[in-house]
Chain A
């Protein structure tokens, strides 16, 4: 999926090299348990941990101890092992394919 870019946020006017000079991207987060969503701009060099932290502010929902940050979409994957990566690094390493995320409480079942 092509990264969603903020109009005017590119580092170079008239830039046609999509993604190379982007500074900010629009992030979309769904809180799965509470069924709330938020969209906000984040620097492309923000870490996943920073995006996760800001998500609670934007959602106005308190963090729960067993919350998990995960990718969005139909095949959610935990991002808990990659929280130190920036958005750009996570995308380059194909940990994420877009900037849609989810927050869900851990479940038990083993």
Chain B
């Protein structure tokens, strides 16, 4: 069970099993026959790519969210915006592929300091793995529950894009 101020533990086997269990449930809930119908891609067993859009007026920006399930569902999925050409995020050259999000529930950082050194892209939201990895403070009622699903993560980020999108990082 996820806990505040505790480093997440990776369990690839359990993560894959939980993802395999949840994916059909999510597709059913979204009335989708396959991930392709939703525009999603699964480049490897533990990775899901989900296109997202941010809008300012009539201007529409496309982004690609990469979810990783190495510690799922004890912990939320890893979530980072990536370069759609490479499927990866390398700072600083890929920072323009990250949307500026300023919602109280979800903010984005292109290079957040890790506790043990180095930086990581952080979608600062209690429904992402990285949020716990950087030992971010969190209210107990926001802590990820092991009954939550990766749809929680997608919904939280989409909601931030819909309500507080401020354009791309330069």
Chain A residues within CB distance 8 Å of chain B: 30, 32-37, 65-66, 70, 74-78, 102, 104-110
Give the interface SS of chain A, mostly helix, strand, loop or mixed.
loop
Known: A74-B53, A109-B103. A35 touches B131 (CB 8 A): no
Q: Mark B156-169, 1 if CB is under 8 A from A, else 0.
A: 10110111000000
Q: Mark B119-140, 1 if CB is under 8 A from A, else 0.
A: 0000111110001000010110
Decide yes or no whether B37 CB sits under 8 A from chain A. Answer: no
Known: A108-B138, A109-B106, A109-B107. A70 touches B26 (CB 8 A): no
Q: Are B159 and A78 in contact (CB under 8 A)?
A: yes
Measured between alpha carbons, how far is A104 from B145 in the docked complex, in Å?
13
Q: Are B107 and A70 in contact (CB under 8 A)?
A: no
Give the interface SS of chain B, mostly helix, strand, loop or mixed.
mixed
B30 contacts across to A, CB distance below 8 A? 30
Q: Are A110 and B105 in contact (CB under 8 A)?
A: yes
Known: A107-B127, A109-B106, A109-B131. A77 touches B163 (CB 8 A): yes
In chain B, residues 50-103, which have Cβ atoms closer than 8 Å to a Cβ of chain A? Answer: 53, 55, 103
Decide yes or no whether B104 CB sits under 8 A from chain A. Answer: yes
A35 contacts across to B, CB distance below 8 A? 22, 25-26, 29, 149, 151
Chain B residues within CB distance 8 Å of chain A: 22, 25-26, 28-30, 53, 55, 103-107, 123-127, 131, 136, 138-139, 141-142, 145, 147-149, 151-152, 155-156, 158-159, 161-163
Contact count A vs B, C-beta below 8 Å: 85
A66 contacts across to B, CB distance below 8 A? 141-142
Rounded to whole Å, the gap between the CB of B21 and the closest CB of chain A is 10
- A109 contact from B125, B151, B163, Cβ within 8 A: B125
Rounded to whole Å, the gap between the CB of A86 and the closest CB of chain B is 23
Q: Are A70 and B159 in contact (CB under 8 A)?
A: yes
Measured between alpha carbons, how far is A36 from B28 in the docked complex, in Å?
9
A-B contact pairs, 21 of them (CB 8 A): A30-B30, A32-B149, A32-B151, A33-B149, A33-B151, A34-B147, A66-B141, A66-B142, A75-B158, A76-B159, A77-B162, A106-B142, A107-B106, A107-B142, A108-B125, A108-B142, A109-B104, A109-B123, A109-B136, A110-B107, A110-B124
